[in-house]
Amino acid sequence: MDNIKKHKNSKTIRPKVLFFDVNETLLDLTNVKKEVGKALGGREDLLSLWFTTMLQYSLVTSASGQYKPFGHIGAAALQMVAANHNINLTEADARKTISESMGNLPAHIEVKEALAQLKNAGYKLVAFTNSSKDGLKKQFESAGLTEYFDEMLSVEPTGKFKPFTDTYAWGAKQMGLELEECMLIAAHGWDVAGALWAGWRAAFIGRPSQQEYPLAPKTEIVVSDLKKAADILVTYK
């Protein structure tokens, strides 16, 4: 799977800022699987369904001109999955499950080494997430990632979630950049597709069970972990 495709305009020119998706890209969701499984009567196999339902309804919310915190949408999605499997789950218990499980995730094993490599190579690193700013701060403190990042951006001020084009335009503006000067690094095909269609560059991190979206523009870096992406990016001039 690992490969590099030269961006038609970049020719391996360095992006000015690397924007990182957080959940699954940097943080390991294994603990979430266990906690969501407990809330769903031991059904750890329902994690993927819960996650895709959460993403679906985050888009429904944004497309309808509404905004709710991402964690609240996650809890609502958990209740929906529970109801579909005849499992009783209150709103309070659903929110507690999401808050506690998502707030204490470890980084993937290679992440800190890769981030340090990129920092040492002179890159500016920005976290860019659908989660709340407070939630992101808690996650990074728990995982020991705060020191690696120059900025932590939540899409909250936009009132929309990634992959809406407005969110990427906003992220670029916050850092004083042109769209083509930004690169998203993410483990989700939908996020990479949104960034590319918005005019950003992108790198896809192929975590298990994650795939690129075949109808999206081609991604210039496709690798299986963040260290391999860092190894490529430090060669850019």
Q: Which one, of 2, 16, 13, lies nearest residue 184 by Cα?
A: 16
pLDDT at site 31: 86
pLDDT at site 22: 98
CA distance 209 to 108: 15
pLDDT at site 1: 53
pLDDT at site 44: 87
pLDDT at site 103: 87
For each successive 10 residues of the chain (237 residues), what is the average pLDDT? 50 91 95 88 90 94 96 96 95 93 94 98 98 94 97 97 97 98 98 98 96 96 98 96
SS3 content of the chain, % helix, strand, coil (to 5): 50, 15, 40
Enter the pTM of the model: 0.93
List of domains in the chain? 3-28+106-233 (3.40.50.1000), 30-102 (1.10.150.240)
Helices (H) and strands (E) in the chain, counts: 9, 7
Sequence-separated contacts (24+) of 110-113 with Cβ below 8 Å: 110/225, 110/226, 110/227, 111/26, 111/145, 111/226, 112/144, 112/145, 112/148, 113/227, 113/230
